[in-house]
Structures are given as structure tokens and as C-alpha cells.
Chains A and B, each alone.
Chain A
Amino acid sequence: MAEQFVGKASEFKDGERQIIRIGEDEIGVFRHQGEFYAYSNFCLHQGGPACEGLTIARVIEPLREDKTSMGLHFSETDMNFVCPWHGYEYDMKTGAHIADPRVKLRKYDIVRKGDEVYVVA
């Protein structure tokens, strides 16, 4: 396992992403709420660029105690990233598909050395 330089944390704005290419492998690195997350850029559906699409808050539908719906809302806490080919939607913190957590992108470790950010691949 080698450490691949991603960039300087001070230049990596929150909400941004970078795609790191190592040979034929591709890793998407996100910065979300100060934390870094790195996943395979190959969607588990048909191989699309899973990390290159929209990031968007999870849509939730809270139910009241009487089981009536409170309608559709954006989550205040959970963020997803979406494969732009077909809309496969993954959880930012785990890389798991939001409809089936067994469908999970390979996650890579992130190492910070001072201001420098590395992905372990």
C-alpha cells in the first residue's frame, strides 16, 4: 500500500472533490464538514464515475406517531454523492448505497501530514 498525495488541506475547500488516478485505478476524495473521505470511482452498478457527480443531502420522509407522512425533506445531517450515469446514490461517510448498504464502494484510508493530504492505495 502506497501513499498517494492528494493535495493541501488548506487548498481543498469543504464540499469539493478530487479524482486521483493511480494507473488505471481512480479514487474520489471528498471533503465534507472538514473530514476527508476517499472511495473507488467505479460505480458498483455499471462502472460509472461514482464520485464525479452531484453531492446532495439525503432525502428523508419522517413519519409521525400515527404513521402519517410529514412529506419529503432534505436531511440536516446526511450527505450523499451520486453516480452521474444512473443516479446510484452513496452515503458520504460510509460509501454504502443508500437503498442497500450491502452495496458498498471500496473505501480508502486518508492520512494527513501537516497540511498535506494523502490517500492510501
Chain B
Amino acid sequence: MDLIADRGRRVTVEELNTSKLLAHAAKQVKDRKFDDVLIVDTDAHHYENENFAEILPFMENEVFKQLALSSRAKAGRGNVAPSGFGYQDMGGRVTRYPLRASEKTDPGRQRDAQLGDRWMNAMGVDYSCLFPTGMLNIGLHPQKEMEFELCWAYARWVTEKALPDCNGRMYTMLCLPFSDPEGSLRMVETFGDRKGVGGFMITSVREKMQVSDNAYMKVYRAIEERGLAIAFHSGPNWGSNTFQSCNRFLSAHALGFSWFNILHCTNWVVNGMGERFPKLPVLWIEAGLAWIPFLMQRLDHEYMLRPSECPVLKKKPSDYMRDMYYSSQPMEIQDMEALETTFRMINAETQLLYASDYPHWDFDLPSTIYDLPFLSDRARHNILGGTAHKIFKLPPRNDAQKANLIKYGNYVGG
């Protein structure tokens, strides 16, 4: 197929086949014997908008459903969900974006499930937590009713259509309509016990959200009572007032992912949510790792000066942050000593979870963790899958994986 390069010049590249594109990843799997290691990818994606024809009919409210379906009719010009600015594909340099539609799959099975098999097999990933892509912007929707309807419809589709086609290798943390606390609670009560639901996710790409508002306590309680986890998934918002002064995608992307998790993690910690819900596993996803030591130091510093503003806290903010979990991608690898310090500060051996973010442009392979020179074997196994096995109760897929889970003290059955 041809891709457009400089000045309209066309460059011929092979048609997209995920297995072929990731052949070098498969070599890493073989070289490092990843089949013996339980590898859980705690943040992978699909493009749910490609499935809107199946998803939107699951909307409950007939008026909003009609609005959504009508906007997608031929020549319709409506936008169902908020969309962001950006050039994830870097002008076609990351070829799987422009070539995506050309990849062939069998008609008898969900396309996303087939594509998932291909990249999970190539990377040596045993399980992936499937997240949407466009709906990470759902917090920017001006209508809380539509936010609920889209989250509800997606939750039904993914639990009733997509996950059952994934041979048990994909699970999800369902996106909550966080502008609607009552609707969020209803989502937890309705979907919390469904197969493949490991917890619930709040898109942290929100300009106005107070995670400690009393209205949400019943939501967190309901998740905690079910033994599930909660995740805050970050993203960029180039259109926000803060980032409109960024004249490069790189700037808005690098800052945005970190910023939205910094913002909401701060509110979570300072308001003592860790004291209130000590058994609730909390994950911070896709902001990299460099922001965490920064925030630990900033919050500890100010807390020592102004503890009267945080009377619920019984220890330093960084201690609460060390109780939470962090997904590894996109892992900043430019300064290995800084990265090692970060791992020490966050107790990575027990709190860090491998994530690929595939198929997005800045995905990380399992080797990014496995090859780190300063990690012990225990830390390697824990980060790649042992810790996630404990949180999400994902069974090992062979005897060698089970033996390693037992060896490193992670095995909880299955």
C-alpha cells in the first residue's frame, strides 16, 4: 500500500498484518522465554468508534439513542462523542494508524478480538485489560445524560459481545459516567459482577472533577465491597485552556497525560481517600512514571507545612501514594539512574504494573521491563504479571507460569 510522505510523494509499504509487524516482538518472546512468565498488560486499547454500529443500539434512553444513531446516518454531520485534536500517527510514520483498515480478519469473530490475539501472541502477553480510545474523552461531554448513555452502551457491548469473543484473555475496567454519581453507582451494581470486569475506570481527562466529593463515596464503597479495583486513566486535551499554548502535539501530549493524573491524584491523596477506602486497589494509568516522585515530594513538602488542611491523613501523602498502583507505560527510559530512583520511591516491586498501551503510538513491549538492569527476578515477575494476578485474579496459563507465581509469592489460585 502507498503512504503519503513529503510533498505528496508516495511510499510503498506492506499491507498491515499485526503478526508480521510485530515479528521482532515475537523474537523477544522466544529469546526471553516469556511463555514461562505470566504477563498481564494492564492497559491496552481498541477503537470502539469502529464498533459504534453495534454499541449505540445498547443505549437505554430512546431520545438520546435516536440522536446518536441519527448523527451517524449517511451524510450525518453529528459527533456522538467528544474528540480531541492531535496527530497520533505522526503523519503516517507510525504505519499501523493509516493502514489499520487494510488489515484482514475473519468475518465470524469480533475483529478486535482477532487483532488482540495477534498482538498479544506476538508480545507474549497472556491477558490484557481492554480500554476504549475515543471514550477516554467522555469526561469532556457537555451532557451528563449522554455521558451515561455512552458508558452504559459500551459496558453492555463490551461485556456481552466483545469480551465473550476473546477466549478469556481480555478483561476490562469499565468506564464510569463520572459526571453522574447515581449513574456511576448503577453501573457498578449492574456490571460489577459480570465476567471479565476487573473494576471500573474514570477518565481523568476532566477539567472540573473533585474525586473526593461526598457524592462519590457510595461509588467507591460499592467497588471496594465487590473486591474490584478502580483506575484513573489519563490522556491529553490539547483543546483545554491550559494546553492551548502548546504549539506542538508533543508538548500537549507529554504534559497532558501527566497533568490530569497529577491533578486528580493530588485531590485523591490530600482528601484522605486512602484512609477512607484502604482495601480499594487504586491504579493510575498511562501517565508514565516520572510524575510520581515529583508529586510525592511536592505533596510531602506542603503537607509538613499545612497539615491542618488534611486532617484525615495519618501519614505522609507519599505513603498513601506508595499504597496505590501505577501502570508502567509510557516508561521514561532516558536516564536509567532516575528511573531506578523512581522504582525505589514507588515500591515498584509491589506497586508497578506492566502496560503496553498497544496499539497506540508510544506502546511498550514487556522487554522494556524485563531488560531493566537494576531489577531483581522477583521484581521482574511481579511487575510483568504477578501483582496484576493478585489484583485481578487472572489464572496462570501454564504450569511454568504457575510455578513462577508460587516462587515469587504471588499465586492466589486459578
Query: Which residues from chain A sit less than 8 Å from chain B, CB to CB?
Result: 15-16, 24, 42, 46-49, 52-57, 74, 82, 84-87, 89
Contacts and interface: CB of A to CB of B under 8 A. Distances in A.
B27 A86 contact: no
A54 B25 contact: no
B23 A46 contact: no
B27 A24 contact: yes
A54 B393 CA distance: 42
Contacts of A49: 21, 23-24
A53 B95 contact: yes
Contacts of B365: 46-47
- For the complex of A and B, 3 pairs with smallest distance between CB atoms: A57-B6, A84-B95, A74-B6
A110 B107 CA distance: 46
B246 interface: no
Contacts of A54: 3, 5, 11, 13, 92-93, 95
B355 to A, nearest CB: 14
A47 B28 contact: yes
Contacts of B367: 46-47
Contact of A46 (B12, B93, B368): B368
A57 to B, nearest CB: 4
Interface string B6-17: 110101111000
A55 B6 CA distance: 9
Main secondary structure of the interface of A (DSSP, over half): loop
Most buried by B among A46, A52, A74, A89: A46
A64 B13 CA distance: 37
A53 B93 contact: yes
A95 to B, nearest CB: 17
A47 B95 CA distance: 16
19 contacts: A15-B9, A46-B368, A47-B24, A47-B365, A49-B21, A49-B23, A49-B24, A53-B13, A54-B3, A55-B5, A56-B91, A57-B7, A82-B90, A82-B93, A84-B94, A85-B94, A85-B363, A87-B361, A89-B93
Given A82-B90, A86-B94, 12 more contacts: A15-B11, A47-B24, A47-B367, A54-B11, A54-B13, A57-B5, A57-B6, A57-B7, A84-B95, A84-B96, A86-B361, A87-B90
Nearest to A53: B95
B377 to A, nearest CB: 21
Contact of A74 (B7, B24, B25, B368): B7
A79 to B, nearest CB: 9
B224 to A, nearest CB: 37
Contact of A87 (B7, B11, B14, B93): B93
Contacts of B3: 54
B362 interface: yes
B364 interface: yes
A34 B72 CA distance: 49
Nearest to B10: A15
Given A54-B5, A55-B5, A47 B93 contact: no
Contacts, number: 63
A87 B6 contact: no
Q: Name the interface size band of chain B.
A: 20 to 34
Contacts of B94: 84-87
Contacts of B363: 85-86
Given A46-B365, A84-B94, A56 B6 contact: yes
B13 A52 contact: yes
Contacts of A47: 24-25, 27-28, 365, 367
A90 B23 CA distance: 21
Interface in B344-372: 361-365, 367-368
A54 B6 CA distance: 10
Contacts of A86: 94, 361-363
Nearest to A46: B365
Interface in B173-219: none
Contacts of A53: 13, 93, 95
Nearest to A79: B6
A74 B24 CA distance: 31
A24 B27 CA distance: 9
A85 B367 CA distance: 14
Interface in B7-42: 7, 9, 11-14, 21, 23-25, 27-28
A103 to B, nearest CB: 11
B11 A84 contact: no
A15 B368 CA distance: 33
A46 B247 CA distance: 28
A7 B13 CA distance: 19
Contacts of B361: 86-87
Nearest to B368: A46
B336 to A, nearest CB: 15
A85 to B, nearest CB: 7
A56 B93 contact: yes
A49 B20 CA distance: 10
A74 B7 CA distance: 8
